[in-house]
Amino acid sequence: MDTLIIEKIQKEIEKFEHTSDVEKVGRVVRVGDGVAEIEGLQNAVMSEMVLFDDSSELSLEDAMNKSDALYGLVLNLEEDSVKVVVLGDVARIGEGMLVKSTGRVLSIPVGDELLGRVVNTLAEPLDGKGAIKTETFAPIEREAYGVLDRQSVDTPLHTGIKAIDSMVPIGRGQRELIIGDRFTGKTTIAIDAILNQKNEPDETRPICIYVAVGQKESKTARIVAQLEEAGAMEYTIVVSASAASPAALQFLAPFAGATIGEYFMDSGRDALVIYDDLSKQAVAYRQLSLLLRRPPGREAYPGDIFYLHSRLLERAAKLNEKKGGGSLTALPIIETQEGDVSSYIPTNVISITDGQIFLDANLFNKGTRPSIDVGNSVSRVGSAAQTKAMKSVGGSIRIELAQFRELEAFMQFAQDLDEATKQRIDRGRRMTELLKQRNGEPLSFEKQVVSIYAGINGLFTDVEAENVTKAEGVWLEYMDGQHNDLLTAIHKNGKIEDEISEKLDKAMTTFKGANTDLFTVGE
């Protein structure tokens, strides 16, 4: 009898000793639509990685190192089971399959090795250039830096787009929303901002991360080809979660971009991350939430959709010197329907960001590119993120253009206009033409300053409105060839001193005399 009791006690002890191992293994009881329900993972935690693996003879480490390892992400903790979203091919999972707890939150490889590469959400290569060899991993979700770790945004991030750098300036560490309907040039602005970093000195050039969420693979391939042709891929990383990718990877892709950007920010460098676009991320998250049986709210989005975007965008920061002085600038993109900025996702993201660049479909259709609506666009960082040179030439443009837009609408109903109003309208038309820019042709900061300086000081007053863009091109060629020293001085000093201003005025007079064919108004 005593022997039986002793054996029973020993079995209970053995069972107790192996409880921790038992709790790290579960089985799939249901799978479908990218979501697996698992029983047995009693110690699972939120956002933990789990490994789908039926081979019990392999250790956890060996199973995780397999090239075809399939992971899931724990998103629902329920009384008797956990629900995970599958980060890969759902067809490989069946009922009864073993699932192992890894004890790790979802992490991806980061580092300089990713530069010039196209990767998926898990930072696995998609460009056929071989494996990415890095031993540095970072969690895909991380708490944002606190207020005391940050400093105010005061360094400009030049986009190379005159209308933005003069009227809606973006600073390093800022979150500036690009918002508008389909086909209004949102992605073009973001790509031009990446291309323009080629004009920045190597030591201060930001690392750029372009995150394509729910985009056609052909569009992403076209963007990569454009960046490679311009030599911009050497400082750029592309994260792609195409429309064909599982919803879980589309939902996590922006977080992967933020994680990669934070690596550079933490090392004291500047980084720019573009989320194209968060509307599609929100749709992917809504799909996952409904499949996880979470209650729907406004427009069927879950109640924590605001928290999803706020915890993502709060990771953009300008760190203080004690933390290394690095920065992460975020340019989220949101797509609107018929210009409606009052719907759920646009209002959420507008309230989180430090300003927005609103693109108007009507302006776009009229041929104004970029189609920035001056009245609805704002940068809450403002002139703090502008050089003195740009501040001095761009200060009055915003008011002039806003007044011009109002007068232009009024002009359709007015018969007779007084001379002052006519002059204001003519000046507004020429300024609108001056701010037009072709896709993929960003201008260096000093050329923007010289162009706008000429515009506000009357160089193009006697040029037909439709010829202003041509005249500006000739003016910039003239400055580049004959007065390159002035461009260099503006770039170096960041301001227009009295001496430079006098030389610019003389250059304008000389240019006007040498190009009389351009100045034909009134003849």
Q: Which residues are catalytic?
A: 380
Helices (H), 318-442: 344-352, 361-366, 388-394, 397-411, 419-434
Q: Are 239 and 224 in contact (CB under 8 A)?
A: no
Strand, coil or helix: 441: coil
CA-nearest of 328, 351, 356 to 168 is 356
Angle in degrees, 0-180, between the axes of helices 445-456 and 468-482, rounded to the nearest 10:
120
Instruction: Please list the residues that pair with 36 across neighbouring strands.
Output: 31, 84
Q: Are 244 and 297 in contact (CB under 8 A)?
A: no
Over its C-alpha atoms, the chain yields an Rg (Å, rounded) of: 28
Give the side-chain half-sphere CA count within 13 A for 292.
25
CA-nearest of 85, 99, 82 to 42 is 82
Strand, coil or helix: 276: strand
CA 301 to chain centre: 22
Strand, coil or helix: 113: helix
Residue 29 is encoded by which pair of tokens?
Answer: 């009881």
Q: Are 118 and 127 in contact (CB under 8 A)?
A: yes
